[in-house]
Amino acid sequence: MTIVGIVGGGPEDRLPDLHLYNEQNVQWIGADRGSIYLLNQGIVPDYAMGDFDSTSEDEKAMLHTKINQVDTYPIEKDQTDLEIAVQKAIELKPDKIYLFGVTGGRLDHELVNIQLLYQLSEQNLRGIIIDKGNLIELKRAGVHIVEYDENYENISLIPQTPLIKNLTLKNFYYPLTNATLEFGTTLSTSNRLIGKKGTFSFDEGILLVVRSDAVHQ
């Protein structure tokens, strides 16, 4: 399995220990200041991309010294630095893409960054946003297996389309059977598994799956 890990320029204190995800086949992309964050954790990214408007001249010089491929873009452009990094990740044709440093900070940036999961979903790529307290994925209609994770016990299923049809939750503390969820409902938030594994399925719509630790209830 090939994996791409992208680190954005969100608040550094929201980053987990990236070494936990530094598997043998991971290629790392630093988006703007995310390249500095990777180096701060002792990981040299394969690519550094962005306009680097959040880095000092000394930091830019360091990036060119330590990283083989540094791609600099103009500040005025149609895509964010993170979106450019996502497009590069898609070109690498991985099986999975981790996104770090994309939550916290400015709310508009966080919301737009979460929406980038749609781009990956359109490419049939699994994208996972990870920070210290949350895992975020986008799921389309079908049957999905959820395994217990003691670090992310709370599970919320948030509609991203006007209707979610025939949502069924099995082996959840709050089960559902063929429920219809409307956009904006809180019916399927703050749930958790009973046992080591559960499933959720639905026939129509798109769900945002947010798994959180006990602190982020």
42: closest CA among 12, 69, 22?
22
Residue 214 scores a pLDDT above 80: no
Residue 121 scores a pLDDT above 90: yes
- Please give the pLDDT value at position 78: 82
Are 186 and 122 within one domain?
A: no
Cα 61 off chain centre by: 29
Quote the Cα angle for 150-13-130, to 5°.
45
The residue-averaged pLDDT of 85-92 equals 95
* Mean pLDDT across the chain: 93
Residue 3 scores a pLDDT above 90: yes
73: closest CA among 102, 103, 51?
51
Rounded CA separation 75/80 (Å): 9
Are 21 and 48 within one domain?
A: yes
Residue with tokens 């993170």: 82
Rounded CA separation 136/216 (Å): 13
- Please give the pLDDT value at position 167: 97
Are 146 and 190 within one domain?
A: yes
Are 48 and 80 within one domain?
A: yes
The pTM (predicted TM-score) of the whole model is 0.92
- Number of compact structural domains in the chain: 2
- Please give the pLDDT value at position 1: 80
Q: Which domain holds residue 36?
A: 3-132
Are 90 and 171 within one domain?
A: no
- Please give the pLDDT value at position 217: 44
- Please give the pLDDT value at position 216: 45
CB-based burial, 188-202: b 16+ in 10 Å, e otherwise: beebebeeeebebbb
Question: Per-residue pLDDT tens for 140-198?
Answer: 999 999 999 998 999 999 999 999 999 999 999 999 999 999 999 899 999 999 999 99
Are 140 and 111 within one domain?
A: no
Rounded CA separation 212/201 (Å): 20
- Which of the two residues, 25 and 89, has the higher pLDDT score? 89
Q: What is the DSSP letter of 88?
A: H
